Protein backbone atom coordinates (compact mmCIF):
# COMPACT_ATOMS: atom_id res chain seq x y z
CA UNK A 1 0.00 0.00 0.00
CA UNK A 2 1.19 3.50 -0.78
CA UNK A 3 -0.70 4.98 2.20
CA UNK A 4 -0.26 2.61 5.16
CA UNK A 5 -1.10 5.28 7.75
CA UNK A 6 -4.41 6.03 6.05
CA UNK A 7 -5.26 2.33 5.86
CA UNK A 8 -4.51 1.86 9.57
CA UNK A 9 -6.89 4.74 10.39
CA UNK A 10 -9.59 3.29 8.12
CA UNK A 11 -9.14 -0.15 9.69
CA UNK A 12 -9.62 1.37 13.16
CA UNK A 13 -13.08 2.70 12.27
CA UNK A 14 -15.66 0.47 13.99
CA UNK A 15 -17.99 0.26 11.01
CA UNK A 16 -20.44 -2.61 10.43
CA UNK A 17 -19.98 -4.87 7.45
CA UNK A 18 -16.75 -5.71 5.73
CA UNK A 19 -13.54 -4.44 7.28
CA UNK A 20 -11.51 -1.87 5.40
CA UNK A 21 -8.72 -4.38 4.84
CA UNK A 22 -11.18 -6.78 3.21
CA UNK A 23 -12.54 -3.99 1.00
CA UNK A 24 -9.14 -3.06 -0.41
CA UNK A 25 -7.74 -6.59 -0.72
CA UNK A 26 -10.66 -8.56 -2.20
CA UNK A 27 -12.82 -8.27 -5.28
CA UNK A 28 -15.74 -5.81 -4.99
CA UNK A 29 -18.86 -7.27 -3.47
CA UNK A 30 -22.21 -6.06 -2.14
CA UNK A 31 -20.91 -6.00 1.45
CA UNK A 32 -18.40 -3.31 0.44
CA UNK A 33 -21.33 -0.99 -0.26
CA UNK A 34 -21.46 -0.09 3.44
CA UNK A 35 -18.26 1.88 3.06
CA UNK A 36 -19.73 3.97 0.26
CA UNK A 37 -22.52 5.02 2.66
CA UNK A 38 -19.88 6.08 5.18
CA UNK A 39 -18.06 8.14 2.55
CA UNK A 40 -21.32 9.75 1.42
CA UNK A 41 -22.21 10.70 5.00
CA UNK A 42 -18.71 12.05 5.63
CA UNK A 43 -18.89 14.06 2.40
CA UNK A 44 -22.21 15.61 3.44
CA UNK A 45 -20.81 16.49 6.87
CA UNK A 46 -17.75 18.05 5.26
CA UNK A 47 -19.94 20.13 2.92
CA UNK A 48 -22.08 21.34 5.83
CA UNK A 49 -18.96 22.23 7.81
CA UNK A 50 -17.53 24.21 4.87
CA UNK A 51 -20.86 26.00 4.32
CA UNK A 52 -20.98 27.05 7.98
CA UNK A 53 -17.37 28.25 7.86
CA UNK A 54 -18.05 30.37 4.79
CA UNK A 55 -21.10 31.94 6.42
CA UNK A 56 -19.03 32.80 9.48
CA UNK A 57 -15.74 33.93 7.93
CA UNK A 58 -16.60 35.16 4.43
CA UNK A 59 -18.19 38.42 5.64
CA UNK A 60 -15.06 39.14 7.67
CA UNK A 61 -12.77 38.40 4.76
CA UNK A 62 -14.59 40.63 2.27
CA UNK A 63 -15.23 43.41 4.78
CA UNK A 64 -19.01 42.98 4.79
CA UNK A 65 -21.04 44.98 7.27
CA UNK A 66 -24.69 45.86 6.90
CA UNK A 67 -24.04 49.30 8.36
CA UNK A 68 -21.88 51.74 6.43
CA UNK A 69 -18.73 53.11 8.04
CA UNK A 70 -19.02 56.50 9.63
CA UNK A 71 -17.70 59.50 7.72
CA UNK A 72 -13.99 60.18 8.13
CA UNK A 73 -14.61 63.79 9.08
CA UNK A 74 -17.45 63.63 11.56
CA UNK A 75 -19.03 66.91 12.47
CA UNK A 76 -21.09 65.27 15.24
CA UNK A 77 -20.72 62.24 17.47
CA UNK A 78 -21.31 58.84 15.92
CA UNK A 79 -24.70 58.31 17.62
CA UNK A 80 -26.21 61.07 15.49
CA UNK A 81 -24.99 59.48 12.26
CA UNK A 82 -26.19 56.04 13.34
CA UNK A 83 -29.62 57.42 14.29
CA UNK A 84 -29.84 59.28 10.97
CA UNK A 85 -28.94 56.15 9.03
CA UNK A 86 -31.39 53.97 10.95
CA UNK A 87 -34.17 56.49 10.32
CA UNK A 88 -33.53 56.14 6.58
CA UNK A 89 -32.98 52.36 6.76
CA UNK A 90 -29.42 52.40 5.53
CA UNK A 91 -29.30 48.62 5.09
CA UNK A 92 -31.13 49.18 1.78
CA UNK A 93 -30.63 51.60 -1.07
CA UNK A 94 -32.00 55.04 -0.16
CA UNK A 95 -33.77 56.84 -3.00
CA UNK A 96 -32.73 60.34 -2.04
CA UNK A 97 -34.23 62.21 -5.00
CA UNK A 98 -37.72 60.67 -4.85
CA UNK A 99 -38.10 60.05 -1.11
CA UNK A 100 -36.42 63.07 0.46
CA UNK A 101 -36.78 66.69 -0.61
CA UNK A 102 -34.89 69.53 1.08
CA UNK A 103 -37.59 69.94 3.76
CA UNK A 104 -37.37 66.23 4.62
CA UNK A 105 -33.59 66.44 4.83
CA UNK A 106 -33.91 69.49 7.09
CA UNK A 107 -36.37 67.58 9.25
CA UNK A 108 -34.00 64.60 9.49
CA UNK A 109 -31.20 66.93 10.51
CA UNK A 110 -33.26 68.62 13.20
CA UNK A 111 -34.77 65.40 14.53
CA UNK A 112 -31.66 63.19 14.65
CA UNK A 113 -28.74 65.66 14.59
CA UNK A 114 -30.20 68.58 16.54
CA UNK A 115 -30.12 70.63 13.33
CA UNK A 116 -26.32 70.69 13.27
CA UNK A 117 -26.03 69.15 9.77
CA UNK A 118 -27.03 71.08 6.68
CA UNK A 119 -29.24 69.48 4.03
CA UNK A 120 -26.13 69.04 1.84
CA UNK A 121 -24.33 67.18 4.63
CA UNK A 122 -27.32 64.92 5.29
CA UNK A 123 -27.61 64.21 1.57
CA UNK A 124 -23.87 63.53 1.39
CA UNK A 125 -24.11 61.03 4.27
CA UNK A 126 -27.08 59.26 2.63
CA UNK A 127 -25.11 59.04 -0.64
CA UNK A 128 -22.23 57.58 1.37
CA UNK A 129 -24.66 54.94 2.71
CA UNK A 130 -25.82 54.15 -0.83
CA UNK A 131 -22.23 53.80 -2.04
CA UNK A 132 -21.53 51.34 0.78
CA UNK A 133 -24.67 49.38 -0.07
CA UNK A 134 -23.70 49.19 -3.77
CA UNK A 135 -20.27 47.83 -2.82
CA UNK A 136 -21.88 45.19 -0.60
CA UNK A 137 -24.23 44.10 -3.40
CA UNK A 138 -21.31 43.93 -5.83
CA UNK A 139 -19.31 41.77 -3.39
CA UNK A 140 -22.28 39.48 -2.76
CA UNK A 141 -22.63 38.87 -6.49
CA UNK A 142 -18.92 38.35 -6.92
CA UNK A 143 -18.64 35.80 -4.10
CA UNK A 144 -21.77 33.77 -4.84
Instruction: Kindly report, residue by residue over 39-64, the tens digit of the pLDDT.
Output: 899 999 999 999 999 888 877 777 77
Sign of CA dihedral 98, 104, 106, 112: negative
Q: What is the largest CA-CA distance in the chain?
A: 83
On whether the pTM is more than 0.85, the answer is no
Instruction: Kindly report, residue by residue over 12-48, the tens digit of the pLDDT.
Output: 888 777 787 787 777 777 777 778 888 899 999 999 9
Question: Residue 115 — left, alpha, or beta (φ > 0 → left; ψ -120 to 50 → alpha)?
Answer: left
Contact 113, 80 (CB under 8 A): yes
**CA atoms in the 13 A half-sphere facing the CB of 141:** 5
Residues in Cβ contact with 59 at an 8 Å cutoff, skipping those fewer than 6 apart: 65
Amino acid sequence: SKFPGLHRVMEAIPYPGASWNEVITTMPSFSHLHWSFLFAILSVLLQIFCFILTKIFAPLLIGYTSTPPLPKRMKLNKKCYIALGEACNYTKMIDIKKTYNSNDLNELSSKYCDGKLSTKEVEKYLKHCNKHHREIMKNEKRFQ
